[in-house]
Amino acid sequence: MNNFDFYNPTKILFGEGKISEIAKEIPQDSKVMVIYGGGSIKKNGVYDQVADALENHSWTAFGGIEPNPRYETCMKAIKKIQTEDVDFLLAVGGGSVYDGTKFIAAGAMFDGEPWDILKRGAKIKKALPLAGVLTLPATGSEMNSGAVITREETQEKLPFGHPLLFPKFSVLDPSVTASLSYRQAANGVVDAFVHVMEQYMTYPSGNHLQARFAESILLTLIEDGPGYYNDPANYEKAANLMWSATMALNGLIGAGVPNDWSTHMIGHELTAFHEIDHARTLAIVLPGTWSVLKSDKREQLIQYAERVWGITSASDEDKIEQAIKKTEEFFNSLGIKTRLSDYDVDETTIRKIVKRFEERGWHLGEKQKVGPGNVEKILKSRA
Amino acid sequence: MNNFDFYNPTKILFGEGKISEIAKEIPQDSKVMVIYGGGSIKKNGVYDQVADALENHSWTAFGGIEPNPRYETCMKAIKKIQTEDVDFLLAVGGGSVYDGTKFIAAGAMFDGEPWDILKRGAKIKKALPLAGVLTLPATGSEMNSGAVITREETQEKLPFGHPLLFPKFSVLDPSVTASLSYRQAANGVVDAFVHVMEQYMTYPSGNHLQARFAESILLTLIEDGPGYYNDPANYEKAANLMWSATMALNGLIGAGVPNDWSTHMIGHELTAFHEIDHARTLAIVLPGTWSVLKSDKREQLIQYAERVWGITSASDEDKIEQAIKKTEEFFNSLGIKTRLSDYDVDETTIRKIVKRFEERGWHLGEKQKVGPGNVEKILKSRA
């Protein structure tokens, strides 16, 4: 087992009605900025619940954070913070709103051009305190310190993070998912599923507990995901889904284990060029990553086949093939298509993505094998 | 799924050599008190590693915390703190040293007689910051905010806790377990195993992920426990054991699920009257709790039989019986005897324990059914 540090100070308030408890978690003298997305929270009652909870706080609001949050939009929020003396940020939304809020928290206190945080990995030294109310289980951003921001001007989607960006608290109220669309629900299941895979599907590293925890999340997503997709108002399914998505990316299952993340990095490019939903890009790419890197991921693919899908009486080769097939079928069962052609992506885009990997000199994955050559193979296998 | 709050800010520094990193986690101007037990850390090199790491800090030491730490001893440490202006406590040892340190941290800042914290559940309002270096995986105290203290004078063993008592950090270096005795190693495995059970073996509550996480810990303890018991110097086994024991009682698997803890409370009385090792008392009592409360725990016992022991082709009744038998055999395989007669405990003690439950009006367990009557049945079944 590799050495690791594990630290996660985010307090979780889980369950129906928990939004009403946020006031006691925010310093009384704070000036709060509620940050949200396209306005669905005004229709489903969450905005009103937050407003009620904050009745004794001074607060303002900033709406319009996009799916794949834009650098340009975050910069507008930073301007508003500086003119209105805001000193506490409350994200109310899904992973994009959380991610945008994290960038705003860091950018508002950054000495220089905040773009440098993304482009050059400039060091974050201070950040505004932030917290949130999660409305869409998917990204795990509600209990971690990382985020991804897109710059429209240059079609770039880049990650950043810092321990100062752990939310102070996050409310996870499964009843708020009742108004999600099937598409949002399905995306959330797949996003969480692939987060687990990026930390699990590498090579054996002696981390027996982390592997079993990862498999626990996968099994729960498989058990409760389809029911949740068909009815996001099913509280018990939504609750298990929500907690699984949070646990998929809060540092727990990745502690001391090799990580991959190449499927994500390829997927980000598909989103940057074609605006395909993040989760859908992962569902497209993942089976390709496994097929191309089958020999490197062999032992873990077999363990996954056996423990998660119960495929025990087949040759190793067959176990692997069946596990890849089962995974793609699972995505399809959630209404998610898994081929580039389903999204009208052709060779031109593949060439552009390969070129970006070349320009950046990227060789990603747990063994640094996902460079331009393998990216091309992976994407071509998903045509 | 029940509503819950989850909060655990303890930073974990995991792996060989991590003791050397503690200095940067402790404020430079702190006066540290290193608190330890019977002195084994002076023989196995851990004391020297800590001393080296603290070379640029001002520090003092207090040794002699007993297994089942004594109120009387903790009070001596509190006196020393007050005369030497200590303001940071570093537990270096197993769960008893951590537990003692937590009581010292709270007691040193308590307004009044610290015994009231235990006896009357008096509210803790302040505590000295504490952290630790774990030398014996077992109790989980290294990553939670609870503890148990014994008062010799009155033969009482009582629990307490407060969020202020989360360690700021804990070092988990599996290589330090190399010098543990077989007895200590075996006790650690069983202690962690029963911690999981107190949060798992109740009734179904729709917490699918928490149940699978609990089973993950059990499976890892079963996979790695015997190898670790036979050779505590096996780094990989020790690492999995250590992380499993920590995860067994850090709030994760108990979030939103019904808890039992009656096996622990009965076990504490066996320790108080007979000085039987904590883990051994649990191994004695647990099969009795399950047998007597079989109908209340029915669904979970069946799930445990199936998922943890792979007993799938038997009647429900047989699954339960086999699971109880397998569990007792697992304890025995670690050299732990599981009958009261093995420890020369007779009817007299059973009567004393039943009397204590009567006096305290205790009806424990997830359905408050473990009162004097069932305690008598449980203990008699373990004669």
The correct answer on CATH 3.40.50.1100 for the domain covering A11-175 is: no
Angstrom distance (rounded) from CA A141 to CA A99: 7
Tell me, what's the pLDDT at B272? 86
Residues of chain B in contact with residue A167, where contact means CB-CB under 8 angstroms, are none
Q: Which CATH superfamily is domain B182-381 in?
A: Dehydroquinate synthase-like - alpha domain (1.20.1090.10)
CATH topology agreement for domains B11-175 and B182-381: no
Tell me, what's the pLDDT at A272? 86
Q: Which fold has domain A182-380?
A: Dehydroquinate synthase-like, alpha domain (1.20.1090)
Residues of chain B with pLDDT under 70: none
Residues of chain A in contact with residue B240, where contact means CB-CB under 8 angstroms, are 1, 206-209
pLDDT (average), residues A147-163: 89
Residues of chain B in contact with residue A18, where contact means CB-CB under 8 angstroms, are 3
* CA distances from residue A193 to A69, A211, A219, B281 in whole angstroms, order as listed: 22, 14, 10, 41
Name the residue facing A213 among B16, B213, B224 (closest C-beta).
Answer: B213
- CA geometry: angle at B230 spanning B264 and B137, to 5°? 40
Question: What is the rounded (10 degree) CA torsion for B346, B351, B354, B356?
Answer: -110
ipTM: 0.96
Residues of chain A in contact with residue B174, where contact means CB-CB under 8 angstroms, are 1
Tell me, what's the pLDDT at B153? 85
* A296, two tokens: 């490197």
Tell me, what's the pLDDT at B68? 86
Sign of CA dihedral B295, B299, B302, B308: negative
Sign of CA dihedral A272, A276, A277, A280: negative
Q: What confidence tens digit (pLDDT) does each residue in A216-272 have?
A: 999 999 999 999 999 999 999 999 999 999 999 999 999 999 999 999 999 999 998
Neighbouring residues of B329: CB distance < 8 A, sequence distance ≥ 6: none
- DSSP character for A163? G
Chain A, chain B: beta-carbon pairs less than 8 Å apart: 115
Tell me whether residues B12 and A15 touch, CB distance under 8 A: no
Average pLDDT, rounded, for chain B: 96
Domain map (residue ranges) of chain B: 11-175, 182-381
Angstrom distance (rounded) from CA A12 to CA A187: 23
Tell me, what's the pLDDT at B118? 94
- Number of CB atoms found within 10 A of residue A189's CB: 27
Threshold 0.80, pTM exceeds = yes
Closest residue on chain B to A214 (Cα) = B213
